[in-house]
Structure 1
Amino acid sequence: MLKTHDAVEERVECVVLVNPSKAELMQAQRRFNVHPLIVGDVLGRRQQPKFERFDEHLYVSLWDLNREGDDLSGVDTDLALIFNARELLLIQRGPDHGLRDLDALVGASGPVSAPASIAAVYRVLNAVVMDFVELGAEIEHDLEDLEAEVFNSRVREDYSRIYRLRQRIGRIDRAARGLAEALQSGQDAIQTATATAPSMQPYLLHLEHDANGVSELAAAEHLSLDAVVSSHESNVATRQNKDMRTISAFAALLAIPTVLAGLYGMNFKNLPLIDWEYGWVAVAVVVVATDLLAYMLFRHRGWLGGPQQTRHDGD
């Protein structure tokens, strides 16, 4: 889909392509004399973020996170910005529900007085980076909640939530790190782009720092999540050990009467109390007393629950 703005300013022609077909891309290539390598990148999809110069055009590609509800599932949006002093071509490819309103960004007022093309590029990049920052802060809060959940013995942690959080951190890290590296490696291209508007250089540098900050935050969140995962695995192992102890304790309680009944069920004449009229009562009392003693011992050690359970979980 093609949207054409008469001008961001009088001297700049701006075209927005949303999920364009190959024919529309070829038409835009002829219209703006776009380098074939740029067209190849756009057609290839999912290119690594980059900031390059091709002849008279500067080319920026990046990943815009497709945010659905509270997670970042689905396919990310690819953005390509191709511009010079007189022209601006914006190409956006991705699912309809994840598309950004580029028309509103292009038509918005810039932070400083600057040629419209570089100002519009900055507004698009700034909107993407600000979303990275916001999403990184949200994940930080989610990570704190997850840590509290994992270290609370009364709460059974949700392993699927841990997986989803790891996925979100990874997607933000890749997108932010890719853009930061593109801005850093494209310093020569940025110098060219801001030659007529040097006041824009601090803004673009600030974007690079913000993207780097989000990437470093995501790396720290990865480490914190690794600790949470280790604690989760430890909790699972502890619960399994507790279950095995409980099963073993009940098996022992059942084994005591089973052994005694097996002994007295054999055809021997010299077993204790075998000839006494109330011998079976004595044997039953011994069985019950032995089972009660074993039960109290297991209960004290926490194998059957009780106040000592926490203390003996690590035994």
Structure 2
Amino acid sequence: MGGLRINGLRISGLRKAVRRGYRRAVDLSHPARSPLGSAVVNCVVYRDGVRQEDCADAEEALRRVRKSGEGFVWIGLHEPDQQEIAGLAALFALHPLAVEDAVHAHQRPKMQRYDDTLFAVLKTVRYVEHEQLTETSEVVDTGELMAFVGPDFVITVRHGGHGSLGPLREALEHDPEQLAKGPAVVLHAMVDHLVEDYLCVTDAVQNDIDSVETTVFSEFSGRGDAGRIYQLKRELLELRRAVAPLDRPLHRLGTEPMPAVPAEVRPYFRDVADNLTRTTDQIASYEALLDSILQAHLAQVTVAQNEDMRKITAWAAIVAVPTMVCGIYGMNFDHMPELHWTYGYPAVLLLMAASCFAIHRGFRRNGWL
């Protein structure tokens, strides 16, 4: 009887284990319990600004946060597809329009509010190193970074090969007092980091502008400089498209009440907005400088063309004299002065040479030759 009891307990324990495994399999097949796929970079719970543990299940992580009433969940994604983000959208009640923008890249930088969730689209920029600027050189490379910010969660979506948030996450984890202020701190850190990148890229672009400016105003300037100037203008335009649209949203985050942004975090957004304004002004000054350089280059080309035309005109005038004399003495008339004169031929040659010399000297004196 004891043996049967033991066997029965073993059988009962086996049945319980099978049932637990079945329930776990059913839970993982549910879209709300399997949002984490290959696109997930990280899923971490933070409480009081301190990293708690990595999570393999977003629903479990969110349940722990909401059960304790403290902390938030930070989930990082890299280029997810519609299927991979569908579970997270259902779990965190994300707006369908925002989810669609997060899946499909090439969005305009913006910040939109959906109930108590803030959706932000940001542009990441990177300066492309090159030995020499050409007409086809890529100077600025852009990517995209989206963020869903709620009362107790942050979901970041990154598109592109740069703009990793790993260093940013580590920097925030070294400042738990700041991180304890909530998910809005993560958004501020992202925007602040991107604005610093904007400043670094604009400083690097200035070196290219200085190089082009030096070349244009040197005596060895070539006519291919216009292509390089236009290329820089195109790259600056791409940079401005990434920077300028964020000006108004950042000012709103720093001045207007938002459910996802506590009052103590707003001054940080105002500070970032000031740096962004400085970057925008710097880009505008670069564009104005490139316009001036382009106009100066076109003026130089016009002057060079006028110089060429003056030289051609001067040589044409010099050649016109012997052409006229040869044309006159090439006419078939019987009675022409000096036609049968012994010294007529050398006298005509001497006349043409003297006339050409006098005209050439006159053009040289006037700066045409």
- TM norm structure 2: 0.73
Provide, for residues 69-108 of structure 1, a one-character-per-residue CA deviation record: whole Å limited to 9, x for no partner: 25655763121111224211111123x3xx2111221232
Superposition pairs for residues 268-307 of structure 1, below 5 Å? 268-304=333-369
Q: CA deviation at 1:19?
A: 1.5
Given residue 213 of structure 2, which amino acid in structure 1 is its aligned partner? E
Q: How many Å separate the matches in 2 of 1:131 and 1:246?
A: 52
Name which of 230, 233, 236 aligns with 1:163: 230
Superposition pairs for residues 56-135 of structure 1, below 5 Å? 56-70=116-130, 76-94=142-160, 96=161, 99-109=162-172, 113-115=178-180, 117-135=183-201
Q: CA deviation at 1:188?
A: 6.5
Structure 1 residue aligned with 2:247: 180
Q: Is the 8 A contact 1:16 1:91 kept in 2?
A: yes
Q: How many Å separate the matches in 2 of 1:185 and 1:46?
A: 23
Name which of 192, 202, 208 aligns with 1:136: 202
Structure 2 residue aligned with 1:5: 43
Secondary structure of 1:65's counterpart equals strand
Q: How many Å separate the matches in 1 of 2:159 and 2:196?
A: 20
Please, which moves more after superposition, 68-77 or 249-258?
68-77
* 1:237 equivalent in alignment to 2:302: yes
Given residue 211 of structure 1, which amino acid in structure 2 is its aligned partner? L
Unaligned segments of structure 2, at least 5 residues = 1-38, 53-70, 131-136
Structure 2 residue aligned with 1:193: 260
Q: Is the 8 A contact 1:65 1:72 kept in 2?
A: no
Q: CA deviation at 1:33?
A: 2.2
Please, which moves more after superposition, 203-212 or 109-118?
109-118
Q: How many Å separate the matches in 2 of 1:33 and 1:235?
A: 61
Provide, for residues 213-241 of structure 1, a one-character-per-residue CA deviation record: whole Å limited to 9, x for no partner: 11112122222222111111111111111
Q: How many Å separate the matches in 2 of 1:235 and 1:247?
A: 18
Q: Is the 8 A contact 1:169 1:222 kept in 2?
A: yes
Q: How many Å separate the matches in 1 of 2:83 and 2:253?
A: 30
Q: Is the 8 A contact 1:63 1:79 kept in 2?
A: yes
Provide, for residues 183-239 of structure 1, a one-character-per-residue CA deviation record: whole Å limited to 9, x for no partner: 1244577643342x71x3322111111111111121222222221111111111111
Q: How many Å separate the matches in 2 of 1:190 and 1:23?
A: 34
Given residue 89 of structure 1, which amino acid in structure 2 is its aligned partner? I
Q: CA deviation at 1:124?
A: 1.7
Q: CA deviation at 1:150?
A: 2.6
Q: CA deviation at 1:30?
A: 2.2
Structure 2 residue aligned with 1:51: 111
Q: Is the 8 A contact 2:198 2:243 kept in 1?
A: yes
Provide, for residues 274-308 of structure 1, a one-character-per-residue CA deviation record: whole Å limited to 9, x for no partner: 2111211110111111111111122222222xxxx
Q: How many Å separate the matches in 1 of 2:190 and 2:350?
A: 84
Please, which moves more after superposition, 113-122 or 32-41?
113-122
Q: Is the 8 A contact 1:51 1:186 kept in 2?
A: no
Q: CA deviation at 1:174?
A: 2.1
Q: How many Å separate the matches in 1 of 2:103 and 2:271?
A: 30
Q: CA deviation at 1:154?
A: 4.0
Structure 2 residue aligned with 1:226: 291
* 1:258 equivalent in alignment to 2:318: no
Given residue 250 of structure 1, which amino acid in structure 2 is its aligned partner? W
Secondary structure of 2:230's counterpart equals helix
Secondary structure of 2:179's counterpart equals coil
Q: How many Å separate the matches in 2 of 1:140 and 1:74?
A: 12
Q: 1:66 to 1:28 in 2, by over 3 A?
A: farther
Q: How many Å separate the matches in 1 of 2:138 and 2:258?
A: 34
Equivalent residue pairs, number: 299
Q: Is the 8 A contact 1:16 1:103 kept in 2?
A: no
Q: 1:50 to 1:21 in 2, by over 3 A?
A: same
Q: 1:155 to 1:72 in 2, by over 3 A?
A: closer
Q: How many Å separate the matches in 2 of 1:227 and 1:272?
A: 62
Q: CA deviation at 1:120?
A: 2.4
Please, which moves more after superposition, 223-232 or 132-141?
132-141
